Amino acid sequence: MKKIRLILFLLLSSCVSIPDDITPVTPFVADKYLGKWYEIARLDNSFERGLSQITADYSLGTDGEIKVINRGYAIAEKEWQQADGKAYFVEKSDVGYLKVSFFGPFYSAYIVVLLDENYQYALVTSSSKSYLWILARQPKLSAAVQDKLIKKAAELGFETDQLIYVSHHPET
């Protein structure tokens, strides 16, 4: 069932445009972005519904693509779920604007909107402001940093009162 929801999402949202008033991070250094990121908060979406302990792991592929492994624990099923994908830069490689696919030729935008200078936390969206993720290198952010990111997201027009905060406590 989750696979079907993911396929439907990708078919319906295969778009790599940038929402109004959103500017991708520049300069963006892919090598510094690679590695594991923890999802701190997100706007609800069907493909992550019911998941906790969500992480994204980015690595460089053999053909210059960025390999993506998204992983989360499905609480109801009591099992780990994983989606493997690939991402490519839409413009230049120093712009935080990529297209990502987890299913064949269907791509969605992956736009880094805000990025810590040390690549420790990020604000990411897609082609619509109904998608938002707060990511960090650690499973928890300080209250001050989290508030800063939420404030920035609200200024950009995201519905931050609808954020879902991700648990990173083992439920296995």
In a domain, 172, yes or no: no
pLDDT at residue 92, rounded to an integer:
95
Write out the two tokens for 136: 């960090």
Is the per-residue pLDDT at 146 higher than 80? yes
Model confidence pLDDT, tens digit, residues 70-128: 999 999 999 999 999 999 999 999 999 999 999 878 899 999 999 999 999 999 999 99
In a domain, 171, yes or no: no
* Percent of the chain residues topping a pLDDT of 90: 81
Residue ranges making up the domain that contains 76:
2-165
The domain that contains 159 carries what CATH number?
2.40.128.20
Is the per-residue pLDDT at 131 higher than 50? yes
Is the per-residue pLDDT at 170 higher than 70? no
Q: How far apart are CA 9 and CA 30, in angstroms?
A: 26
In a domain, 125, yes or no: yes
Q: How far apart are CA 16 and CA 112, in angstroms?
A: 13
DSSP string, the chain: -HHHHHHHHHHH----PPPTT----SS--HHHH-EEEEEEEE---TTTTTEEEEEEEEEE-TTSPEEEEEEEEETTTTEEEEEEEEEEESS-TTSSEEEEEEETTEEEEEEEEEE-TTSSEEEEE-SSTT-EEEEESSS---HHHHHHHHHHHHHTT--GGG-EEPP-S---
Instruction: Name the residue with higher pLDDT: 49 or 104.
Output: 49
The number of folded domains in the chain is 1
pLDDT at residue 1, rounded to an integer:
46
Average pLDDT over residues 44-60: 95
Cβ-proximal residues to 27 (8 Å cutoff; 6+ apart), any chain? 94
Identify the sign of the CA torsion 13, 105, 42, 151: negative
Write out the two tokens for 142: 């300080």
Instruction: Name the residue with higher pLDDT: 7 or 154.
Output: 154
Is the per-residue pLDDT at 41 higher than 60? yes
In a domain, 56, yes or no: yes
